[in-house]
Amino acid sequence: MQLSFSKNLVLLVSLLAAPVSLQLEHLKSPKPADLRHETKVRDARAIRLRQFLAKLHCPVQDMAEHFVHAADDNNLDWRLLPSISVIESGGGKAYRNNNILGWANGDRSFPTIRAGISQVAFKLGNSLLYRNRNTDEKLRIYNPNEDYPGRVEDVMRRISPVVDLRLASTEQGARRTDPELLSLN
């Protein structure tokens, strides 16, 4: 009888302790919402770029943040790579070999589209051929057609006439001239 009472007591104590241990475990593990607050605030440039690519129905609109990061990592204007992709492949509408930027006349093959963006960004920012040149000079080397730099730079201005959206978004409302920029705040 003593053994039966001990088993029942142990069972009762474990049942009572289970909710307490579950509550403690619940407190230890972060909620998904808490994790979202730890990630960095979305970059206004990526938001603007995604909106622009979406208006053109570009398949690469979900890569807006990758375009911006690749440009930042290689000291390029954030609008350059997506603008080249719009001119070369319609923003991912027509390409081959995961090469939406038309690198090497579109003949260069990349394992993924993202890898292609990263590799071309690295070349434009760091190779001896492109390094220490402004955007116009880089574009003249990238594609020797006379009208090419103007076409890409036109797309760049359409993405945003403001190069540094972070500075523009802190200006006073009276000084802002771009109505799309106002919608980002």
**How far is residue 165's CA from residue 47's CA, in Å, rounded to a whole number?**
11
**Cβ neighbours of residue 53 closer than 8 Å, sequence gap 6 or more:** 60, 61, 64, 82, 86, 91
Domain region containing 128: 44-170
Which pTM was predicted?
0.69
Q: Is 124 a domain residue? A: yes
Q: Do 78 and 127 share a structural domain?
A: yes
Q: Do 140 and 79 share a structural domain?
A: yes
Q: Is 183 a domain residue? A: no
Phi-psi region of 164 (alpha: psi -120 to 50; beta: other; left: phi over 0): beta
Q: Is 175 a domain residue? A: no
The enclosing domain of 121 has a CATH number of 1.10.530.10
Q: Is 114 a domain residue? A: yes
Predicted confidence pLDDT, tens digits, the chain (185 residues): 555 555 665 555 555 554 444 344 344 444 444 433 333 457 999 999 999 999 999 999 999 999 999 999 999 999 999 999 999 999 999 999 999 999 999 999 999 999 999 999 999 999 999 999 999 999 999 999 999 999 999 999 999 998 876 655 444 343 334 444 444 43
Q: Do 14 and 71 share a structural domain?
A: no
Into how many domains does the chain fold? 2
Q: Do 134 and 67 share a structural domain?
A: yes
pLDDT digits (tens, 9 = 90+) for 4-37: 555 665 555 555 554 444 344 344 444 444 433 3
